Amino acid sequence: MNRHLIKFAAFLSLTLLIVFALNSRIGMMPKIGPLFSPFEGFWQLAESSSHYTDREIRLTGLEGDVFIHYDEAGIPHIFAGNDRDLYMAQGYVTARERLWQMEFSALAASGRLTEIIGDQALDYSRYMRNLGMMIGAEHLVVNIMQDERSRVMVEAYTDGVNQYIRQLDRRKLPLEYKILGYEPEMWTPLKSALIFMNISETLSVRGHDHPMTVTLDIMGKAFIDRFFPRFSNTHSYYIPDEGQFDFEPLYATPPERLFTPKIMKESPVELPIPGAGSNNWSVHGSRTASGNPMMSNDPHLGLTLPSIWIEMQLHTPDVNTYGFTLPGAPGIVIGFNEAISWGLTNAGSDALDVYEIEFRDDTFREYLYEEEWLPVNKQLETYLMADGSAVTDTFRLTHHGPVTVAPNADPYSRFTPAGHAIRWAAHEPGNELLSIYLINRAANIVDFQQALHHFHSPSQTLSYADTSGTIGLFHHGKFPVRWEGQGDFISDGRDPAYEWQKFVPMDQTPRVINPSSGFAGSANQPPVGDYYPYRLGRLYTSNERGARIHELLSNESSVDLSFMKVMVHDNLSIDARQILPRLLEWIRPEELDDQQQAWLDTLSEWDYRYDTKSLPPYFFNRWWQGIYDEIWEDLSGLDRPASIPDKERTGIELIANPDDNLWFNDTWSNIYELTTGIYMREYDRAVETYGEPGDNWRWSVRQERSINHIAFIPGFGRSGLQPGGTPLALNAIGDLFAPSLRMIVDLSVPVQAWGIYAGGSSGNPGSYYYDNFIDNWEAGELRPLHFWRAEEEAASLYSITLSRCE
Amino acid sequence: MTLLVMLTGLLFQWFLPWWSGTIAAGLVTLFFADRSWHSVLAGFLGIGLLWIVAALWMQSGNDGILAGRMAVMMGFSSGTMVFLITFVIGAVTGGLGGLTGLMLRFSLFRNT
């Protein structure tokens, strides 16, 4: 046998082995060979100035040429001849910037992330599927397709995305595809609908029914009424009573007797996380320096990279609109046109009810409704895994809606207990896309209100202002007409009286136009008092931010840009201002040592602002949180999830009745012991961990913020940010949620606007435009937005011409 | 000969998947190499350098943004490591290709 031949065979095998290994996915590790190859791997995504040069691209189906001008900040401005061309170009441009993100979001919404991430995504995917995300998305697509305008919009957009995917040089495939090892599918209108469902999931799945039921069971009704009041003179309602609710309301028939829910056994459920919220406000010309209205909006969402938003301008001879949209959703979601501006905050009214279901037996095939056993609609769900294997599960549907956690299953997630069904407004969408289409083109308040008729979910509070001088605020969505108390706790799935019997007519939702105060603003707090005839919800975000908006705007009669900017970035916490002086009163100085005493002086001089350099906020938070935790220890330490009163209500009651027995457990006998004891404890702990009060206690140092990549790929996010702020101030920067964009619009003619969003146009981590706005965002700076009236005005860094291809 | 590997490698990888660099190194040594260290060196340096030069070219004007992010992803503090790994992967696969090519040459043309 030839010795060389043996050597050849040996080396050939070794080479093949190594090449094969480098070309394989091992576990979640990417294929190393192709990833590192500069000819096809990640190096291909290193973007440089050659990317930012003029080019022409041919698209089929265009009726004329479309010009996309990128400005110096990387914002695309699209100029097209008609709707179809416009939305095709929007689809193309969005895919160019954010293809991976938009597909990832759609996959997440449809419970398919297991296909790319595997096991770790199984619980999340199950949650999304059992929530019935697909039910809502399919209904939305049907509604979109029934109107010519929204149909053209979504079809052209889809076509634009898919032409981008088809033309895409596989070497330039977005980085995340290369790392996670898969390729894009074609886009569909259903995926755009899923993007809307994602937002409904984020904003309207609250799941208070179960924990409220537990609290009711333990503490009784008087406690609920005191600590979770539907109406209160401490609520800062943003829809005032100006005689606008003089219509004849609809009524829902209450049940003959209230039922007591059965689920009282342990059932670990995630409690809803406080902190998601937003601010918006409009100021009438009578209170601005220019005499024209001004508007501001900053939605607080989980910050990610790529950003949840993409900013752009859309222009045809019939529409000129600028603002922010979700990658995957055609049109502009938050923004302005040449006549009006609009902004969104989450309405927070109750959009999801949990129903106790009585199954006939352990096969869960039938459930009781009135006197009858109705069949459960069962469907087999298959979850494909990244490694090619599959997991199956049963999806159960009742006439109320889906059973979100299988009966007798370990509750893997979230919000609802096992064996219960939900009814969720997002399963019954309107035509939100048409609504966006019409808002983008609205010329006045009449157009705007008509556009809202198609907007069902997620319910939003829309601020409005226009160049003719009108302002308004609309708490809007599809709201069931509820009898008093309906949906506050777990509902009876057997009793028709617990169903959603009717809906609030679309023109009877709470709203105010040109309020006598001269301004209107919302921050997710309880929207409207008992002068409004319908009951929309009980648990809203607390009132601190809303009250601060009201306070600042009622004290300023000459609002201008610099005032608005300061207001958007306001770090004052009404929570701190309300409770801290009382805590200081209740402390027993004779029990403190010298250092604790000295620190007390620093606290008493604090201006209640969560500024980056400030020392007191960090300690105040610990102190107040410590007291709050001690007070509710018995409720939070249970083996079942109980709703706990928020800090605002706790503070209000604590100040009003400091001697109430509720506040003290075995360790403390009165308010002085409680506040002093926890002050000393937290002070000593803080000193032990961070040393004497000094730089280490600065708010920015203690509260560094990070923005993670959507799929949590290390290195693709940003960390070490020090923007200041707190969830209870207008500059609502928290651990989980923060102002994802900020926009101020001056409704003079021509309309001018300033804004920033926490990200950049590009979804490519190898691009300068991936996160180019983050530094400005962190520093509290806004950019003037280039709102070009005509293509000739466009001062672009570079342009892409989409030309018609026969 | 290193230069020859680089050029052939460039040509191959322009049109074919990443592993065609290995074949390029093998083909060059099959026809031109006579000593094992020549072939290994040519394959190793040829493809390794080609990858480094191409990577540098691809990311020129990028200001190290991408290399920096990839470095953090892999747990390194600096982008230099990313270049180094790129070189090593190119070089190892190229070197092995060169060696295999040489062995084929020996077994075809040299009988013992």
Which of chain A's residues have a Cβ under 8 Å away from the Cβ of B70? 42, 715
Domain span including residue A607:
574-702
Residue in B6, B18, B104, B112 to test binding to A, most A beta-carbons within 10 Å: B18
What residue type is A555 in one-letter code?
N
Q: Structurally, how many domains does chain A consist of?
A: 2
The burial of A235, by beta-carbon neighbours within 10 Å (0-12 exposed, 13-18 middle, 19 or more buried), is given as buried
B41 min Cα distance to partner chain A (Å): 15
SS3 A753: strand
Q: Measured between beta carbons, which residues in chain A are less than 8 angstroms from residue B107?
A: 2, 4-5, 7-8
B59 DSSP assignment: T
Nearest to A4 among B62, B69, B107 (CB): B107
Q: What's the pLDDT tens digit per position in A596-643?
A: 999 999 999 999 999 999 999 999 999 999 999 999 998 988 878 889
- Half-sphere CA count of A272, side-chain side, radius 13 A: 26
Q: With 0-12 CB in 10 A as exposed, 13-18 as middle and 19+ as buried, what is A257?
A: exposed
Token pair recorded at residue A725:
């702020």
In a shared domain, residues A299 and A444: yes
In this predicted structure, the answer to whether residue A265 has a pLDDT above a threshold of 80 is: no
Q: Which chain B residues are closer than 8 Å to A43 by Cβ?
A: 54-55, 58-59, 66, 86
Residue A58 lies in a domain: no
pLDDT of residue B31: 84
The verdict on A439 and A318 lying in the same domain is yes
The C-alpha torsion from A260 through A266 and A267 to A272, rounded to 10°, is 80
Task: Find the helix packing angle between B2-15 and B80-109, rounded to 10°.
Answer: 100
Closest CA to A349 of A400, A273, A424: A424
pLDDT in tens, A13-49: 898 998 888 888 877 788 899 999 999 999 999 999 8
Is the domain of A628 the same as that of A665? yes
Q: So what's the pLDDT on residue A108? A: 97
Chain A residues whose CB is inside 8 A of the B54 CB are 38-39, 43
The residue out of A671, A702, A733 marking a domain boundary is A702
pLDDT at B112: 46
pLDDT tens-digit readout, B12-55: 889 999 999 888 988 888 888 777 677 788 889 999 999 999 99
Cα angle A270, A272, A275 (rounded to 5 degrees) comes to: 135
pLDDT per position as a tens digit, A33-91:
999 999 999 999 999 988 899 999 999 999 999 999 999 999 999 999 999 999 999 99
Could you give the angle at the alpha carbon of A438 between the alpha carbons of A437 and A439, nearest 5°? 95
With 80 as the cut, is the pLDDT of residue A259 above it? yes
Residues of A with CB under 8 A from a CB of B: 2-5, 7-8, 10-12, 14-15, 18-19, 22-23, 32-34, 36-50, 179, 713-716, 765-768, 770
Q: Which two tokens stand for residue A242?
A: 């100006």
Alpha-carbon gap, residue A793 to B7, rounded angstroms: 48
CATH code for the domain in which residue A673 is found? 1.10.1400
Average pLDDT, chain A: 94
User: What tokens were used for A350?
Assistant: 């109750």
Q: What pLDDT, on the 0 to 100 scale, is given for residue A271?
A: 62
pLDDT of residue A226: 96
Share of chain B above pLDDT 70, in %: 96
Assess whether A608 and A518 both reside in one domain: no
Q: Do A33 and B104 touch (CB under 8 A)?
A: no
Contacts A–B by Cβ distance under 8 A: 128
Q: Note whether A245 and A294 are same-domain residues.
A: yes
Residue type at position A461: T
CA distance B58 to chain A (A): 6
Q: Which residues of B touch A716 (CB under 8 A)?
A: 69, 73
Inter-chain CB proximity B112 and A4 less than 8 Å: yes
Is residue A793 scored above 70 in pLDDT?
yes
Q: State the smallest CA–CA distance between residue B48 and chain A in angstroms.
A: 10
Tokens of B54: 């191409």
Cis peptide leading into residue A750 (ω within 30°)? yes
Separation between Cα atoms, residue B112 and residue B103, nearest integer Å: 13
With beta carbons under 8 A apart, name residues in chain A contacting B88. Answer: none
State ipTM.
Answer: 0.94
Last residue of a domain, one of A568, A593, A608: A568
Do the domain assignments include residue A263?
yes
What's the first-to-final CA gap in chain A, in angstroms?
64
> Token pair for residue A649?
């209500």
User: How many angstroms separate the CA atoms of A403 and A405, rounded?
Assistant: 6
- Reading the block at residue A606, the tokens are 């604090």
CB pair distance less than 8 Å for A48 and B61 = yes
Structure tokens of A13? 């095998």
Please say if the pLDDT value at position A98 is more than 90.
yes
Residues A530 and A633 in one domain: no
Closest residue of B to A768, CA-based?
A: B65
3-state secondary structure A271-338: CCCCCCEEEEEEECHHHECCCCCEEEEEEEECCEECCCCEEEEEEECCEEEEEEECCCCCCCCEEEEC
User: β-pairing, A304-305 with A752-757?
Assistant: unpaired
Distance separating alpha carbons of residues A82 and A319, to the nearest angstrom: 9
For residues A671 and A659, the answer to whether their CB atoms sit within 8 Å is yes
Asked if residue A352 lies in contact with residue A424, where contact means CB atoms within 8 angstroms, the answer is: yes
pLDDT at A70: 97
Beta-carbon count within 10 A of A796 CB: 20
Tokens 């769900």 belong to A381
Q: In sequence order, what are the beta bridge partners of A353?
A: A423
| 3 state SS for A79-114 | ECCCHHHHHHHHHHHHHHHHHHHHHHHHHHHCCCCH
**Would you list which residues of chain B are within 8 Å, Cβ to Cβ, of chain A?**
13-14, 17-19, 21-22, 26, 51, 54-55, 57-63, 65-73, 75, 85-86, 89-90, 92-93, 96-97, 99-100, 103-104, 106-107, 110-112
pLDDT at A1: 54
Q: Between A454 and B25, where is the model more confident?
A: A454
**Domain around B37:** 2-109
Query: What amino acid occupies position A776?
Result: N
Decide if A699 contacts A734 (C-beta within 8 A): no
* Residue A608 DSSP code: S
Say whether A766 and B14 touch across the interface (CB within 8 A).
Answer: no
- Structure tokens given for A161: 């995305």
Q: pLDDT tens across A745-777, in order?
A: 999 999 999 999 999 999 999 999 999 999 999
Last residue of a domain, one of A508, A539, A568: A568
Chain A partners of B77 at a C-beta cutoff of 8 Å? none
Is pLDDT at A569 greater than 80 in this prediction? yes
Cβ contacts (< 8 Å) between A44 and chain B: which residues? 58
* pTM, rounded to two decimals: 0.95
Closest residue in chain A to residue B69, using alpha carbons only: A715
**Residue A533: CATH number of its domain:** 3.60.20.10
Residue A383 belongs to some domain of the structure: no
Helix locations, A569-646, DSSP H? 574-586, 594-604, 616-631, 633-636
Q: DSSP 3-state helix, strand, coil percentages of chain B (rounded to 5)?
A: 80, 0, 20
> Whole-angstrom Cα distance, residue A738 to residue A756?
13
State residue A514's pLDDT score: 97
Kindly state whether residue A265 falls inside one of the protein's structural domains. Answer: yes
Same domain, A475 and A541: yes
Q: Which of A16, A32, A43, A767 to mutate to test the interface with B (most CBs of B within 10 A)?
A: A43
CA angle, corner A237, sides to A236 and A242, nearest 5?
135
Residue A528 CA: distances (Å) to CA of A177, A208, A231, A295, A518 = 47, 20, 9, 21, 18
- Rounded mean pLDDT of B52-64? 92
Strand bridging mode A334-337 / A319-325: antiparallel
Q: Quick one: A518 and A622 in the same domain?
A: no
| Contacts with A342 (C-beta within 8 Å, 6 or more apart), sequence order | A295, A334, A335, A336, A439, A448, A462, A463, A464
Give yes or no: residues A287 and A340 share one domain.
yes
Nearest CA in chain B to A716: B69
For A159, the token pair is 């076509």
Instruction: Please check whether residue A774 is in contact with residue A757, taking contact to mean a CB–CB distance below 8 angstroms.
Output: no
Q: Is residue A303 part of a domain?
A: yes
SS3 A707: strand
Specify the pLDDT at position A666.
84
Both A564 and A587 in a single domain?
Answer: no
Strand, helix or coil for residue A507: coil
Identify the DSSP state of A560.
Answer: -
Residue A536 lies in a domain: yes
Q: Which chain B positions have a beta carbon within 8 Å of A12's beta carbon?
A: 100, 103-104
The predicted structure's pLDDT at residue A763: 97
d(CA A86, CA A315): 7
Residue A604 covered by a domain: yes
For every residue of A24-75, DSSP letters joined together read: S-BTTB--HHHHH-TTTSGGGG---GGGGS-EEEEEET-SS-EEEEE-TTS-
Take residue B45 and report the two structure tokens written for it: 């340096």
Give the count of domains, chain B. 1
A560, A614: one domain = no
The proportion of chain A whose per-residue pLDDT surpasses 90, expressed as a percent, equals 85
Mean pLDDT for the stretch of residues A142-146: 98
Cβ(A201)–Cβ(A301) under 8 Å?
A: no
Does the distance separating the beta carbons of A42 and B61 come in below 8 Å? no
